[in-house]
Every structure is written in C-alpha cells, then in structure tokens.
Amino acid sequence: MLTLVLLSTNEFGVLARVASIISSTSVNIQRCSVSSLPDPSLAVLSFQLEASEDQMRAIERKTTRLVQVLEVLWGDNGKLFSNANPGLRLMNELRGRWDQVA
C-alpha cells in the first residue's frame, strides 16, 4: 500500500479531479482524507492506494499538471518522496499534522 499526499488550493472540484486521475491509472483508493491547514486557501489531500511504483509515477506526473496542485508527495510506510517543488519545506513542517488527521 502506497501513500499519496497532495498540497492543493482549497477549491471545489480538486478532490474529484485527483480521484479521476487515480482511477484513470486503474488504481483503487483504499482510504482518502482531506484536511485544512491554518491557511484557509490550502488543503491537504491524502490517499492510501494499492498501486505499483510505475502507477504512482504516472499519477504524480498527471496531478502535477493540475493548476490547483502545489506539491505532490508519495511513498511507502511513512517514507515519502517529493517532486522537489519549492513548497516542500512547508509540507515537511506540516507533515506531523497530516499524520494526525489521516
């Protein structure tokens, strides 16, 4: 089971777009959570997925193209990999809060 974590703008339709991308790669969502951040314009989307690394890379490529997605992290058993966008520092600082929500 792999974890996908996205930092996105807090807008309607983002969860639906991301879920559509995940389903387009033939991956089943085992668990999903959305949490707000102290900045109300941002949200964190967290997914537990039954996926291969190739499928996760495809999901990462497709989700980073969404204007609303600012950062993408994914990995296995708490070890997350990043696409190395500038927002990574913010995400690492807030990661403890995501674990509590998820």
Bridging pattern class, strands 42-50 and 28-36: antiparallel
Nearest to 15 by CA among 38, 45, 49: 45
Q: What is the pLDDT of residues 8-31, one digit of tens each?
A: 999 999 999 999 999 999 999 999
pLDDT band at 102 (very low <50, low <70, confident <90, very high): very low
Domain positions in the chain are 2-101
Structure confidence by residue, pLDDT tens digits, 67-101: 999 988 888 765 666 554 444 555 555 555 555 55
- Model's pTM, two decimal places? 0.75
pLDDT the model gives residue 100: 53
To the question of domain 2-101 being in CATH 3.30.70.260, the answer is yes
CB atoms within 10 A of CB 24: 11
Give the pLDDT score at 51: 92
Per the structure block, which two tokens stand in for 53? 């690394």
pLDDT at 10: 93
**Beta-carbon contacts of residue 30 (< 8 Å; ≥ 6 apart):** 1, 47, 48, 49, 50
The span from the CA of 100 to the CA of 102, in Å, is 6
Confidence at residue 94, expressed as pLDDT on a 0 to 100 scale: 59
CA atoms of 12 and 35, how far apart (whole Å): 14
